[in-house]
Structure 1
Amino acid sequence: MSRAGTPAQSADLVDLTALLSAYADRVPDLDDPAQRVVFGTSGHRGSSLDGAFTDTHIAAITQAIVEYRTSQGTTGPVFVGADTHALSAPAMQTALEVLAANGVMALIDANDDYVPTPALSHAIIRYNRDASAKADGIVITPSHNPPRDGGFKYNPPHGGPADSDATTWIADRANALIAEGNRGVRRQAALLTEPYDYRLHYVADLGSILDIDAIRSSGLRIGADPLGGASVNYWALIAEHYGLDLTVVNPAVDPQWGFMTLDWDEKIRMDPSSPSAMASVVARRHDFDLLTGNDADADRHGIVTPDGGLMNPNHYLAVAIEYLYTHRPGWRPDAAIGKTLVSSTMIDHVAAGLGRRLWEVPVGFKWFVPGLIDGSVAFGGEESAGASFVRRDGSAWTTDKDGILLAVLASEITAVTGRSPSALYADLTERFGAPAYERVDAPASPAQKSALGKLDGAAITATELAGDPITARLSAAPGNGAGIGGVKVVTDRAWFAARPSGTEDVYKIYAESFAGEEHLRLVQQEAKAIVDGALA
C-alpha cells in the first residue's frame, strides 16, 4: 500500500551528518557523468551523497561565474541568497570565499535570513534600475527537491535564470577546473560582503503590484504554509506590514523536513502543487478562506480553497490570467500572455476570449525574461506552478518565478471578485469545457533520451491521435521558434508533448484532452506508441 500523503517517518529522514561530511570531503569523479557539473533549467542540482554536489563543485562553479561575469562586463556586486536545505549553508560559505578571493562584493541578507528566489530576482532588478555597474545573483537552492539535495543557480543582470549559452559556458569551465584539481580556483577565508534587506525591500514593494488594500478591507482569513522553506519570515512580515488576517500555519524550519507528508513516490519533496506533499495543508482548508503553500525557495505556489481543495496549477494559471488582464488597466494593451507549451490549452482559450496574443515557449522560465523586462509579456507561467507578472504600471517586478506573489494574488482575486479561484475556474469550464490533464513518465535509455531531445516533428508519421486528425507536429515552440527538446502533437480536442528527463532514464509525456478522462488515457497510450515508434 502506498504511503503517499502520509506523515514522514524516521526512516525517511536524511542523515544530516553524512550529508554535510560528504559535501566537505567527497571529491567528484568526472568519469561518472552524474558527478559532473550540469546546469538544467534551474541550475546545477545533486546530492553530496552521490558525489554530485560538493565543496569542489561549488568552488569551481563560483570561479566559473566570476570569470563569466567578467567576460560580460558585469562589474557590480553579486546578490547571494540561500534556502533552507541543509547543503545550502555550506555551499553559500564556499561561494562567498571564492567571490571574496576574486574581489567580488557579495550582498547577503541583513537579517541572516533565508532568501527566496523571487526576493533575489527582485533585488537585482531594483538595484540595476539606478546603478551604473550592473549586479547579478547566485541563488543556492534545489527548489522543491528532497532534503538530501543541493542546488546552485546563476541569475545575470536581467534578474532571471541564465540562458543556455551562459550555463553551458559556466558548466564547461567548472568541469575543466575540477579536472585540474581546482588549481585555478581562488579562495580566501576573509569574506567581502555587505548587508541587504531582501525581506523588507520585497515585502514593502508588494503594494506596487497587488491590491493589498482590497485584501485587508475584505477581512479574508488567510493561511500560508512555507513548507519549511525560505518564505517563512516573509509571510510573517507581510501579515504585520499590511495588517492582514494572515496566519503562518507552520513556521517550523527543519532541514530533514520531518513534518512533511510523503510525495507520490514516497519521498519527501516540498512541491506545493502535489496533493500528496500538500496533504497536511489541504486537511486545514476549512480553517481559512484561502490557504497557500510554497516550496523551499518560494518560486512555486500551491492554492487551496475551502470549496475546491488544492487547485491544479494549470487551473489557477488560467484564473490568474483571466483576472489580471481584466483588472490591470496600466498594462500595455498589446502585452501578450506567456505560457510554456506543456501548459493547459485552457490558457489558449482564455487568451482568445481576452483578445490577447498568446506567446507559447519551450519549458523553462528563462524564455519569459525579455518580455517581462520590457512589458511585452505581462504574465509568464509554467504548468509546474511557477509564474510571475509585471507591476500595475507595467514595469518589471521579478524575472524569475514568484510563488509568494502568486499566492497573495489568490487573496486579491478572492477579495475583489468575492469568489474563490476554484469557483472562477468552474466558470471557465462552463465557457470552454473541462480538460483532463496529466503528466506521466515512460522508460527510455540514455540513447533514446538523446534521440528524443533532437527529434523533428516531421519524423512523426502518425496521422491520427485518439481518433482525431493530427493538426500539428511541433519540435519548435510557436511563440519564439526555439527548439522544445522533444515533440508536441496536437489535435482539435487534445495534445501530448514528450520530453526527455534531465535526471532519470525516462521521458515525460504531458497530455491533455477536452473529451474526458477516458479519452486522455487513450491519448497517453497512443502518445507512447507514437514516440516509441519514432525512436525505434
Structure 2
Amino acid sequence: MADIHFGTDGWRAIIGEDFTPDNLNRVIDAAARVFKEDAVAAGRDADHPGTLIVGHDCRQDAHAYAELAAQVAAGHGFNVLLTQDYCPTPTLCWSVAHNDDAVGGIMLTSSHNPAEYLGVKLRMADGGASPAEFTDRVEAVLPPEPTDILGPFTEVDLMTDYLAALRELVDVEAIRAANLRVVVDPLFGAGRLYLAGLLRDMGVEVCEIDNAEDPTFDGLHPEPIQPWVDRGLAKVKELGYDALFVNDGDADRIAAGDSRGNFVNPHRIITLLTQHMVERGETGRVVSTVTASAMLDRMCRKLGLELVSTPVGFKWIYAEMEKGGVMIGGEESGGIGLPNHVKERDGLLMALLLTECMAQSGKDLGTLVDEMLDDIGRLEFGRRGLAITPEQIARFRAEIMPDYAVDEFCGKAVTDIDRRDGVKLLLEGDAWVMMRPSGTEPLVRVYAEAATTEEVEELLNAAEQVVTSL
C-alpha cells in the first residue's frame, strides 16, 4: 500500500502506480469517516449524516474512479451525488456550498499536474478547501486495506445551476453590447466547452482551442504558464482578438494573453481585478500568498485597501475568507476567488470578470494592462521548478529554510527575510526572490520579481545555484 499524504491541496499520484482503485478506496474511506465524525458532532444522525457531492475532471478513467469514490462514501451512510460528466473544481465547490444538506465534497483531479496524474481534493460544507487539520485527521485514519462496504449513489447535473449563477455575477448587457472577440484555451481540461459556451451566450465571438476529449492533453501540461500557453498566445496574435483566457486542468486557475500575443500573468490579473472590483463599488480586504507581486501591494495602497499575505496554498486564503470582510483573494499560480460567490478559486468567473472589465471600459486587455502598469509601475516575474534529489530537498528544508541569510543578493540589498513558506528575500526597489519546496510535486520552486526580465533571470539563476549546490 502506498504512503499517502495530502500536500498543498489534496493527494496526487500517478495513475496505475500509487493512484489505484485500492488506494483511492482507502483515501475516500478515511475521508468519509472524518466527514461523518464532524457531521455527528454537529448533531446529524449517524445513519444519515448528510450529503457528499463527488466531481471529477477529464483525466483517464476519471468517471470510473469517481463512481468508486461515490460508492465508498455511500457505504458510510451519506447521500452521495455524483456529477454526470466532467466538471470544474469550482463547480463542485459551488454545488456543495449551495446544497443545504451537503457536509462536504470530493473532487477527483490533479489540477495542473501532467496527464498521468490523478488525485483527490476534499472540500468543506461551504465549498472551501479542507484545512490541514482536516486532512491530517484523514491521514491518521487511513485503513491499511480497502473497504468492501459500498453503497448506492445518484448521478446529477451539476453544471446548469452553476453556469446560471456565473451569469448573475457579471454585467451581461454590457458584455453583449461590446462586440468582444476572445480566444479560449482550456488546455484539454475541465473548463473545455463550458467557458466558451458561457461567453458565446453573452454575445462574445469565441475561438476555442485545445478543447477535444483527450486525456493525454496532447502532451501539454494543463498549467496556465509558458510554454503551455504558447498555442493560445500564437492564436490570439494571429486573430488579433481582444484577449486570450487560459484555464488549468480543473479550471480553478486563470491566465491570459493580449491581442499582441503577450502573456498576462496572474499577478497582473489579480491586480487589475482588484481595481475593477473597487470600480464596481465593492470593498474589503485583499488576500494573497507570499509569492504575490509587489504590484498588488502598490495597487492596494493606492486604493486604500488592506492586503493580507499568507503562505502558499489557497487553503490559507480560505482561512482568511472564513473570517469575513474579504473582497478578493488569489495566489501567484492563478487561483483567484470572490468569497461572495464561493470561498474557492474560480477560473471561469475570473475570465468573465476580465470580459466585463473590457466591456465596461471599451478597451482590450492589453490596453487595460498597459494603463495599469503606467499607473503603478511595471514589474516582471518568473519562476522555475527545480527537480532535485530527495536528499537535496531534505537538506534544503534543514539548512536553507531556517538559516539562509545574506545582506545582498545579486547586488541588491536585502531589506527583509520572510520564512513563513520557504525563504523569501525582499530586496531594494520592490524586487524579491524566493525558494520553497513544492507542496504538490517533488520540486523546489524558485520565484523572482524585479523591474526587468533581465534582472528576473539573474535572480532566478542565483537562486537556482543556491538550491542545486546543496
The TM-score normalised by the length of structure 1 is 0.79
Partner of 2:7: 40
Aligned counterparts, 1:478-493, within 5 A: 484=421, 486-493=422-429
2:194 aligned with 1:227: no
Between the aligned partners of 2:401 and 2:221, the Cα distance in structure 1 is: 34
Aligned counterparts, 1:454-493, within 5 A: 459-476=403-420, 484=421, 486-493=422-429
Which range moved further: 504-513 or 59-68? 504-513
Tell me which amino acid in the other structure corresponds to 1:146. P
Q: How many residues align?
A: 459
Partner of 1:118: 90
Per-residue deviation, 1:441: 3.8
Between the aligned partners of 1:257 and 1:207, the Cα distance in structure 2 is: 28
Partner of 2:298: 349
Tell me which amino acid in the other structure corresponds to 1:159. G
1:93-128 Cα offsets, whole Å, 9 max, x none, are 21122122222111223xx2211101111112222x
1:65-107 Cα offsets, whole Å, 9 max, x none, are 1110122126320111111101412211211221222221112
Secondary structure at the counterpart of residue 342 of structure 1: coil
Tell me which amino acid in the other structure corresponds to 1:116. P
Q: Are 2:82 and 2:153, in contact at CA under 8 Å, matched by a contact in 1?
A: no
Aligned counterparts, 1:238-387, within 5 A: 238-239=198-199, 241-258=201-218, 262=219, 268-274=220-226, 276-285=227-236, 286-287=238-239, 288-327=241-280, 329=281, 331=282, 333=283, 335-373=284-322, 375-387=324-336
Instruction: Select the residue among 128, 134, 138 that pairs with 1:170.
Output: 138
The TM-score normalised by the length of structure 2 is 0.90
Distance of aligned partners of 1:226 and 1:443 in 2 relative to their CA distance in 1, 3 Å threshold: closer
Per-residue deviation, 1:314: 1.7
Q: Are 2:81 and 2:155, in contact at CA under 8 Å, matched by a contact in 1?
A: yes
**Structure 2 gap ranges (5+):** 41-48
Q: Are 1:107 and 1:194, in contact at CA under 8 Å, matched by a contact in 2?
A: yes
Q: Are 2:53 and 2:96, in contact at CA under 8 Å, matched by a contact in 1?
A: yes
Partner of 1:10: none
Partner of 2:46: none
Which range moved further: 69-78 or 358-367? 69-78
Distance of aligned partners of 1:528 and 1:227 in 2 relative to their CA distance in 1, 3 Å threshold: closer
Between the aligned partners of 1:443 and 1:257, the Cα distance in structure 2 is: 22
Between the aligned partners of 2:368 and 2:398, the Cα distance in structure 1 is: 40
Partner of 2:43: none
Partner of 1:89: 63
2:126 aligned with 1:158: yes
Identity of aligned residues (%): 27
2:157 aligned with 1:191: no
2:354 aligned with 1:410: yes
Secondary structure at the counterpart of residue 367 of structure 1: helix
Partner of 2:23: 57
Which range moved further: 368-377 or 137-146? 368-377
Aligned counterparts, 1:487-502, within 5 A: 487-493=423-429, 494-502=431-439
Distance of aligned partners of 1:43 and 1:524 in 2 relative to their CA distance in 1, 3 Å threshold: same
Partner of 2:53: 79
Aligned counterparts, 1:206-217, within 5 A: 206-217=166-177
Between the aligned partners of 1:279 and 1:517, the Cα distance in structure 2 is: 18
Between the aligned partners of 2:191 and 2:468, the Cα distance in structure 1 is: 42
Which range moved further: 135-144 or 66-75? 66-75
Per-residue deviation, 1:506: 3.9
Tell me which amino acid in the other structure corresponds to 2:172. I
Partner of 1:17: none
Q: Are 2:89 and 2:251, in contact at CA under 8 Å, matched by a contact in 1?
A: yes
Partner of 2:463: 527
Q: Are 1:371 and 1:377, in contact at CA under 8 Å, matched by a contact in 2?
A: yes
1:235-278 Cα offsets, whole Å, 9 max, x none, are 354246545444544542112223xxx5xxxxx3112232x222
Q: Are 2:416 and 2:425, in contact at CA under 8 Å, matched by a contact in 1?
A: yes
Q: Are 2:88 and 2:190, in contact at CA under 8 Å, matched by a contact in 1?
A: yes
Between the aligned partners of 1:270 and 1:362, the Cα distance in structure 2 is: 23
Q: CA RMSD in A?
A: 2.5
**Structure 1 gap ranges (5+):** 1-27, 29-34, 263-267, 391-395, 477-483
Between the aligned partners of 2:457 and 2:405, the Cα distance in structure 1 is: 21
Q: Are 1:371 and 1:378, in contact at CA under 8 Å, matched by a contact in 2?
A: no
Secondary structure at the counterpart of residue 85 of structure 2: coil
Between the aligned partners of 2:141 and 2:380, the Cα distance in structure 1 is: 44
Instruction: Select the residue among 148, 172, 181 that pairs with 2:116.
Output: 148
Secondary structure at the counterpart of residue 417 of structure 2: strand
Per-residue deviation, 1:402: 0.8
Per-residue deviation, 1:217: 1.3
Per-residue deviation, 1:427: 2.2
